[in-house]
Amino acid sequence: MTAPATANAVQEDAAGQVLAFPAAETARATRDSRPLRLITCGSVDDGKSTLIGRLLWDTKAVKEDQAATLRRDSSGKQNDLGLPDFALLLDGLQAEREQGITIDVAYRYFSTDRRSFIVADTPGHEQYTRNMATGASTADLAVLLVDARVGLLEQTRRHATIATLMGIKQFVLAVNKIDLTDYDRARFEQISHEFRELALSLGVRQVTAIPLSALKGENVVYDGRASMPWYDGPTLVEVLELATTRSSQTVGFRLPVQRVSRPGESFRGYQGTVAGGSVKPGDSVVILPSGMVANVTKIVTFDLVRNAAVAGDAITLVLDRQVDVSRGDMIVAIDSQPLTGLAFDAQIVALQADGIQPGKRYWLKSGSRRQRVQVQPASQLDLKTGKWEPAEQLPMNAIGKVHLAFDEQAIFDPYEQNRTTGAFILIDPDTNNTVAGGMITAKRSALGGIHTEDARVILSLPADLADQLMATELFAARREDAEVRRVSAGKASEIIDTIDG
Ligand SMILES: Nc1nc2c(ncn2[C@@H]2O[C@H](COP(=O)(O)OP(=O)(O)OP(=O)(O)O)[C@@H](O)[C@H]2O)c(=O)[nH]1
């Protein structure tokens, strides 16, 4: 049975397979200038490198000199189809990995007429959990690859679980190497069915399954109708073009104050990048943590006076009265305020060999705010079973639930509602290393109760560092003042840059 179509809904069949994209969706996607961030996950040899290479190749993201090298280097490789070995496009990165230098996540860029894309490529091995978590934390969508001959693996569950934890709500199941099953429709449908069950068990409803051949380029950018007349769903790129970005999901206005600007006696402005919602002159705002109320009189960007500002805009806000505001404060919408309090629940990924020590006091950094916090691990995710097990310590790479206790009022949104104001990093005061990236799930009352049930958290990372092949950043709670660290063989590292937005 086909679900009734509405003007803004993607039409799906009973299994949730996308059948058609309505005009309104297409128009919206066309207008959306924000790049879509995606992460690709798969086990070794599922064809992840080939798929990314194919995406870059078919969208013409590969420069001519690279293309010539590829044709030449592929010639000696056994490839019975006589096609270039697209995985070679990623070999530069591979070499770096093998030498143990850098690389947590590599970001690649490509675009179609409709949209641009940033794909996070992370190694699939278990010991790289934190890398996957890093990549997933900024991603709007996850592409999970399986080999059509093999079907779902434990690794598929692991990756799907981490992606869900990181707040990803849109999955594409890429049933790759379908050419090696003689384009077996029944096989494809069986794997899709199993995956949908898995996704549902994780609470993810938006799943598109696509039978594809990364090597031959079928249903990646170009359709595979000639080989698979039975499949009339979208290609991978069509799904990506229509996917929604997470940043469109925030609601309340948030301005973490980076700087107070006082160029003269008569002017005082509060500078920062809008981290959620929108603002216009006349709006009433609250300054946190003081709780003072004021009205917005002017919004300035560079030297322009603006009628409004939205998430992502770097602005100077002018208020109608003298208020005490300093760096680290947050100016927020009066009718949609974040959580403030001394105790929060969070999920974190431990990044350092020492792990997270119970009761130790760390620095917590979220946006321009830096506070002392005591961290108490509560449980650790068993990635094999998907279950949370009680834990008192969190070793490196572990994903854990923790309680955070602050000395002073902290201000957060649950990560699920805002990836910027709900994310943080933990810094070891002894070594100055970033030891964890985390996301706020809920506020706890003084009595230990939880106010906001089940709101999920995550890390927000700066992602699009200049270099196409190797963004070496680690978790950062906010882009504007993110520290960019080089990571060598999973070890901490020097700060190599700061991104000043
Ligand atoms: N026939 C066929 N072969 C494919 C397809 N996709 C990938 N391959 C082949 O499968 C092998 C593994 O592909 P890779 O892209 O290196 O796989 P990967 O998942 O990136 O593997 P690692 O980089 O080792 O994690 C290569 O020999 C590819 O040519 C496909 O769609 N059809």
pLDDT tens-digit map of 274-305: 989 999 999 999 999 999 999 999 998 876 88
Q: Which two tokens stand for residue 19?
A: 């059948």
Q: Are 281 and 307 in contact (CB under 8 A)?
A: yes
Q: Count CA atoms closer than 13 A to 443's CA, side-chain side.
A: 13
Contact 35 CB / ligand 1 (< 6 Å):
no
Distance CA 17, CA 460 (A): 30
Indicate which residue's Cα is closest to atom 32 of ligand 1: 177
Indicate which residue's Cα is closest to atom 21 of ligand 1: 45
pLDDT digits (tens, 9 = 90+) for 77-134: 434 444 555 554 444 334 334 433 333 567 788 888 888 898 887 765 655 666 777 7
* Atom nearest to 53 CA in ligand 1: 15
pLDDT digits (tens, 9 = 90+) for 15-74: 444 333 334 344 444 445 568 889 998 888 899 889 998 998 888 776 655 555 555 555
Tell me the pTM. Answer: 0.64
Closest to 34 measured CA to CA, from 109, 117, 113: 117
* Atom nearest to 124 CA in ligand 1: 25
Give 146 Cα–ligand 1 centroid separation in angstroms.
Answer: 11
199: left (phi over 0), alpha (psi -120 to 50) or beta: alpha
Give 177 Cα–ligand 1 centroid separation in angstroms.
Answer: 8
Task: Detail the residues annotated as belonging to a binding site for GTP.
Answer: 42-49, 121-125, 176-179
CATH 3.40.190.10 for domain 254-333, yes or no, is: no
Distance CA 91, CA 496 (A): 24
Give 94 Cα–ligand 1 centroid separation in angstroms.
Answer: 14
Closest to 290 measured CA to CA, from 323, 338, 254: 323
Contact 122 CB / ligand 1 (< 6 Å):
no
Q: Which residue reads 């009680």 in tokens?
A: 390
According to DSSP, the β-strands at 254-256 and 330-333 are antiparallel
Contact 345 CB / ligand 1 (< 6 Å):
no
Rg of the chain in Å (alpha carbons): 23
* Atom nearest to 44 CA in ligand 1: 25
Number of helices and strands in the chain (H, E)? 8, 27
pLDDT digits (tens, 9 = 90+) for 365-391: 888 888 999 999 999 988 777 788 999
45: left (phi over 0), alpha (psi -120 to 50) or beta: left
What's the sign of the alpha-carbon dihedral 393, 357, 477, 92?
negative
Contact 215 CB / ligand 1 (< 6 Å):
yes
ipTM higher than threshold 0.95: yes
Tell me the residue length of the chain: 501
Give 15 Cα–ligand 1 centroid separation in angstroms.
Answer: 28
Q: Which two tokens stand for residue 118?
A: 């940033």
Pocket test for ligand 1, best of 131, 215, 222, 227 (most atoms within 8 A of CB): 215
Q: Which residue reads 């919206």 in tokens?
A: 28
Q: Are 48 and 135 in contact (CB under 8 A)?
A: no
User: What type of residue sits at position 380?
Assistant: Q
Mean pLDDT computed over 167-177: 92
What's the CA angle centered on 285, arms 284 and 287, to 5 degrees?
A: 155
Give 1 Cα–ligand 1 centroid separation in angstroms.
Answer: 36
pLDDT attached to residue 103: 37
Residue 454 has pLDDT above 50, yes or no: no
Pocket test for ligand 1, best of 40, 49, 96, 147 (most atoms within 8 A of CB): 49
Looking at the chain, the whole-number percentage of residues with pLDDT higher than 70 is 70
pLDDT digits (tens, 9 = 90+) for 196-211: 998 988 888 889 999 9
Q: Parse the chain into domains and list their residue ranges.
A: 5-242, 254-333, 339-443, 463-500
pLDDT band with cut points at 50, 70 and 90 for residue 266: confident
- The set of long-range contacts for 388-395, using a CB threshold of 8 Å and a minimum separation of 24, is 392/358, 393/355, 393/356, 393/357, 393/358, 394/348, 394/350, 394/355, 394/356, 394/436, 395/350, 395/355
φ/ψ (deg, to 5) at 485 = -120, 145
Mention every residue, 6+ apart, whose C-beta is less than 8 A from residue 227.
179, 183, 213, 216, 218
Q: Are 356 and 400 in contact (CB under 8 A)?
A: yes
- The set of long-range contacts for 230-235, using a CB threshold of 8 Å and a minimum separation of 24, is 230/185, 231/185, 231/188, 232/19, 233/17, 233/18, 233/19, 233/208, 234/18, 234/21, 234/208, 234/210, 235/210
φ/ψ (deg, to 5) at 81 = -95, -5
Contact 124 CB / ligand 1 (< 6 Å):
yes
Q: Are 256 and 478 in contact (CB under 8 A)?
A: yes
Q: Count CA atoms closer than 13 A to 151's CA, side-chain side.
A: 13
- Please state which of the ranges 342-346, 467-471, 476-480 shows the lowest mean pLDDT: 467-471
DSSP secondary structure code for residue 384 in this structure = T
Give 49 Cα–ligand 1 centroid separation in angstroms.
Answer: 7
φ/ψ (deg, to 5) at 51 = -65, -45
Looking at the chain, the whole-number percentage of residues with pLDDT higher than 90 is 34
Pocket test for ligand 1, best of 41, 44, 45 (most atoms within 8 A of CB): 45
Distance CA 433, CA 252 (A): 32
Q: Which CATH class is domain 5-242?
A: alpha beta
Q: Are 487 and 134 in contact (CB under 8 A)?
A: no
Task: Give the CA distances from residue 258 to residues 334, 369, 500, in Å, rounded to whole numbers and listed in that order.
Answer: 20, 9, 10
DSSP secondary structure code for residue 343 in this structure = E
Task: Detail the residues annotated as belonging to a binding site.
Answer: 42-49, 121-125, 176-179
- Identical fold between 254-333 and 339-443: yes
What CATH topology corresponds to 339-443? Elongation Factor Tu (Ef-tu); domain 3 (2.40.30)
